[in-house]
Amino acid sequence: MAIERILKDDASEEKGERARMASFVGAMAIADLVKTTLGPKGMDKILQSTGRGQTVTVTNDGATILKSLHIDNPAAKVLVDISKVQDDEVGDGTTSVVVLAGELLREAEKLVASKIHPMTIIAGFRMAAECAREALLKKVVDNKANEEKFKTDLMKIAKTTLSSKILSQDKEHFAKLAVDAVLRLKGSTNLESIQIIKKPGGSLKDSFLDEGFILDKKIGIGQPKRIENANILVANTAMDTDKVKIYGARVRVDSMAKVADIEAAEKQKMREKVDKILAHGINCFVNRQLIYNFPEELFANAGVLAIEHADFDGIERLALVTGGEIASTFDNPESVKLGHCKLIEEIMIGEDKLIKFSGVEMGQACTVVLRGASHHVLDEAERSLHDALCVLSQTVNDSRVLFGGGWPEMVMAKAVDELARTTPGKRSHAIEAFSRALVAIPTTIADNAGLDSAELVARLRAEHNKEDSNAGIDVISGSVGDMSELGISEAFKVKQAVLLSATEAAEMILRVDEIITCAPRRREDRM
């Protein structure tokens, strides 16, 4: 008697070897896709959507590339997820984490083929990851106590982060910009108060950091263009004429004079509202919604600067920065908290006029204005800068620093190799494989720079067998260089996150022995 099928008709299941094969292949394909973007000489990818407008993104940020892909393979989705988490958590290392996970699986595949049980491999990987982390911890440098040195560390980290991005040509300029912006936050990791405005035109070198807050709006007609010691009321309220707001309501009148009365009443109501707002003793009114001509005229007569349609992001930030609160009712002025700043003026950036608030309450706030040749360049520059800002704000809190350029991977690989020699049993094979996977990162960096990776990595390994070596790959000269002299540094937090996330992801995919695909839901015939 044939056994009835448990699953529906269109569902499919793959077991054992085939399932493992599918997950390994998917994960490795994703790793190979982003591999070429790793390192200072990594290349960019163009992502073109097939939707309306066919938007084009040019990027080499691992997380951005993977986020935009529609993937069918379940194991590949795990890698996409770890790169997203890495992006949210520390901002940088999104490509490294995927490459490392892919390499771990490539090594694991060989081990599984030679009849080592996945659980044994996982146990070995666990030991190796712990050992690698310990090895890094022994080598970290912490200069939190010495402010001068710490700032130099931050500059080095910013330059290292930016050197693999579009901003690498002007990395001195942007590293300084990022470090200044982050040091203003005084240890907070909330990047909300750093606003990034993108304005096409000029070159990337023309980008600058501005203290205070810039709002991308124009000042209304007949209103003061410059206000000193401003009291700002940030509001979210309707300043268009109050219509009868009941859907389907009709007002019937028997003569035109009555219509005029209604209009006069509406105007009177508006005038009362404006008077209430002016009673707060303000000289600047920022509203999220529209302000019609009549109230705008009233504000202009009172010498108050009224800014309409400041989008939600704008007023949220403005309230945060000037120390005010967003108000929607104006009956009792004493309960409304006003924002303050020393000066409001109109400035020009390129062709556009913007409003600048300087001398704000929250000294932490600042605005980075990015200039560039096109929108694509600006978007990529913003992503690069955002990565640098994330890493720096994390480093301000966790100030442990390592060298970069493949140095941490070699340190970890050496420690893991030593562990493999002293571990009995089959786990030692897995530990050895882990060390080979770690070496894949310096190998990829060298490959992407068009160097002879086998030669370089062998020389690196020899260097690292000496005591306290600072050797890493110097892609500029194409040889092994001293990382402390070249000033290539990375944040410990980034490296740790890469190591742990990649190991856990590889572990998760290794555990799989069956993939079940559900049957698609059928659409009922609605005929």
> 226 — phi, psi (to 5°)?
-145, 130
Pairing of strands 400-403, 489-491: antiparallel
Rounded Cα–Cα distance for residues 413 and 407 (Å)? 10
With helix as H, strand as E and coil as C, how does 137-182 read? HHHCEECCCCHHHHHHHHHHHHHHHHCCCHHHHHHHHHHHHHHHHH
- What tokens appear for 103 in the block? 């390499």
Token pair for residue 199?
Answer: 């304005």
In whole angstroms, what is the distance from residue 288 CA to residue 300 CA? 18
The Cα diameter of the chain in Å comes to 101
Tell me the Ramachandran region of residue 303: left when phi exceeds 0, alpha when psi lies from -120 to 50, beta otherwise: left
Q: Which residue of the set 37, 59, 95, 443 is catalytic?
A: 95
Closest CA to 15 of 518, 522, 523, 513: 513
37, 57, 61, 64: the active-site residue:
61
Write the CB contacts of 23 (distance below 8 Å, at least 6 apart in sequence).
73, 74, 75, 105, 509, 512, 515
Q: Classify 383 as helix, strand or coil.
A: helix
- Residue 286 host element (H or E): strand 284-287
Residues 6+ apart with CB under 8 A from 245: none
- Residue with structure tokens 């950091």? 209
Q: Please say if 61 is a catalytic residue.
A: yes
- The pairing of beta strand 366-372 with beta strand 208-211: antiparallel
Token pair belonging to 131? 């050992």
The answer to whether residues 212 and 365 touch, using CB atoms and an 8 Å cutoff, is yes
Q: CA-CA distance, 222 to 297, in Å (whole number)?
A: 8
Task: Specify whether the CB–CB gap between 497 and 89 falls below 8 A.
Answer: yes
CA distance 484 to 148: 16
What whole-number distance in Å separates Cα of residue 220 and Cα of residue 227?
14
- Is-catalytic flag, 95? yes
Catalytic residue among 87, 92, 379, 387: 387
Q: Which of 94, 160, 395, 444 is catalytic?
A: 94
Of 498, 478, 445, whose CA–CA distance to 38 is shortest?
A: 445
| Terminal-residue alpha carbon distance, the chain | 39
Inter-helix orientation angle 407-422/118-139, to 10°? 130
* Active-site residue flag, 387: yes
- Note if 242 is an active site residue: no
> Which amino acid is residue 346, in one-letter code?
E
**Catalytic residue numbers?**
61, 94-95, 387
